[in-house]
Amino acid sequence: MASPHDTLRTDVAHKTPVKTKPLGEAQREAWFEGPDVVTALRVYNGNREIALPSKATFTLGESRSCDVPMAGYDLSALHCTFERKGTRLRVHDQHSTNGMFFGGRRVELIDLYPGDTFTAAPVTFIAMNEEMRAQRPIIAGFVGSSFTPTPDRVLVDAVKSSNHLLLTGETGCDLERLASAIHAVSLRRSRPLVEITELPGDRGEQREILKHATRSSFLIRLDAFREPLDPTFSSMAFSSDFHIRVIVIAPTTTIARRLLATDEMEQLQHIWVRPLAMRPGDIPELLDHLLAERQARFRLSALSPRNREALCSHDWRDHFMGLRLAADRLVAISRLQGWEAMSWQERSNALGIAKTTIYNWFCGLGLTSPLFAV
């Protein structure tokens, strides 16, 4: 005679599926498929980024004997040790004076993943992967160093949150590139970013757009819209059903409010890309980054003092488009032999640019000869 316990075990075995049914597309969260390793630490809202050793264990502290020495940061001589555990980076406090903190709590041990922040008191660090290291200068270039949210706040939110975003700025501020950088560091980066500049009227086509954007970033360029976004489509895009991060681009918040419903506006975290005229202190770093991207053998410091001043004080009314053009042409000029001795017609021929175009550009920026410091 079977006992009640035998009956219970039989029922449980009968109800347990042989194979778990995969989740439907709409039920799956966003994720990154692939190894995601912490390769660097960055001082949060600071200027220092430290490439981490690839070995299994290493140390961090004020002492020069540490694998990652951090002299001048008021850390303990040996503050913490790191241990690689697969894709995790485990951090152990080494009885430091001021301790380690994570998520608002003092801790002895942490497992870090890219985008996590932790404090080896008094220094707060961001755990960085290679995607974050590559995109952080781009994000910083657009966001600016003296405004809120800070570049590091934008970076961490892009990696760790699913916040919907509103990017505003004047024509030429390259908001699309900022959106691409945010997508590139997110957990959605293994899926293509989906962009629309107009919305088809057919409901079936609209659903196809949302299907492609599922578990990805969805870029809506409101600067191309004249009428408010279809409320049914908009509510679906912003709902949790498709696990989409919506990134809206608009010239101003006023235009965004006119084209989006109030409920959607309230869900958007605003990032205003300021005109370069408001950011003269950022111009040297931005130009140097553009020169590095173009594999130039020089930086802004190689120009004559007068020309450095002219570039840094220029109003850059065409914003990043003008800055990129300047980097392109400076690199092209640097590769010419005998630029200073050439006539403007010879310069025009060598660069493949109309004489009046290159002359007006050169003089319009306030550049003079000699271009480079002697």
Q: Which residues contact 31 (CB under 8 A, 6 or more apart)?
A: 187, 215
Q: How many residues does the chain have?
A: 374
Query: Could you tell me the fold of the domain covering 133-274?
Result: Rossmann fold (3.40.50)
Residue 119: how many CA atoms within 13 Å on its side-chain side? 14
Residue showing tokens 């657009």: 142
* Rounded (10°) CA dihedral 176, 219, 190, 116: 80
Is residue 3 scored above 70 in pLDDT?
no
Selected residue with higher pLDDT from 26 and 200:
200
Angstrom distances, CA of residue 319 to CA of 45, 187, 272, 281, 316: 24, 30, 14, 14, 5
- C-alpha span between 244 and 36 (Å, rounded): 21
Residue 8: the pLDDT is 45
Residue type, 197: T
Angstrom distances, CA of residue 124 to CA of 58, 120, 144, 166, 368: 18, 6, 20, 27, 45
- C-alpha span between 116 and 40 (Å, rounded): 12
Domain positions in the chain are 40-128, 133-274, 278-364
Average pLDDT, the chain: 92
User: Per-residue pLDDT tens for 326-355?
Assistant: 999 999 999 999 999 999 999 999 999 999
Residue type, 47: N
pTM for this model (two decimals):
0.86
Stretch among 20-29, 53-62, 208-217 having the lowest mean pLDDT: 20-29
Q: Which of 167, 218, 168 lies closest to 197 in space, CA to CA?
A: 218
User: Per-residue pLDDT tens for 243-292?
Assistant: 999 999 999 999 999 999 999 999 999 999 999 989 988 999 999 999 99
Query: Could you tell me the fold of the domain covering 278-364?
Result: Helicase, Ruva Protein; domain 3 (1.10.8)
Residue 13: the pLDDT is 52
CATH architecture group of domain 40-128: Sandwich (2.60)
Is residue 48 scored above 60 in pLDDT?
yes
Share of the chain above pLDDT 90, in %: 86
Q: Phi and psi at residue 248, in whole multiples of 5°?
A: -100, 135
- DSSP lists the bridge partners of residue 110 as 91
90-98 mean pLDDT:
98
Residue 17: the pLDDT is 65
User: Per-residue pLDDT tens for 229-245?
Assistant: 999 999 999 999 899 99
pLDDT grade, residue 374 (50/70/90)? Answer: confident
Q: Which residues contact 113 (CB under 8 A, 6 or more apart)?
A: 36, 38, 87, 88, 89, 127
49-62 mean pLDDT:
96
- C-alpha span between 128 and 156 (Å, rounded): 10
Strand ranges across the sheet with 109-112: 68-69, 57-61, 80-85, 88-93, 109-112
- C-alpha span between 124 and 255 (Å, rounded): 38
Residue showing tokens 């219970």: 8
User: Per-residue pLDDT tens for 141-190?
Assistant: 999 988 999 999 999 999 999 999 999 999 989 999 999 999 999 999 99
User: Per-residue pLDDT tens for 106-115?
Assistant: 999 999 999 9
Is residue 7 scored above 50 in pLDDT?
no
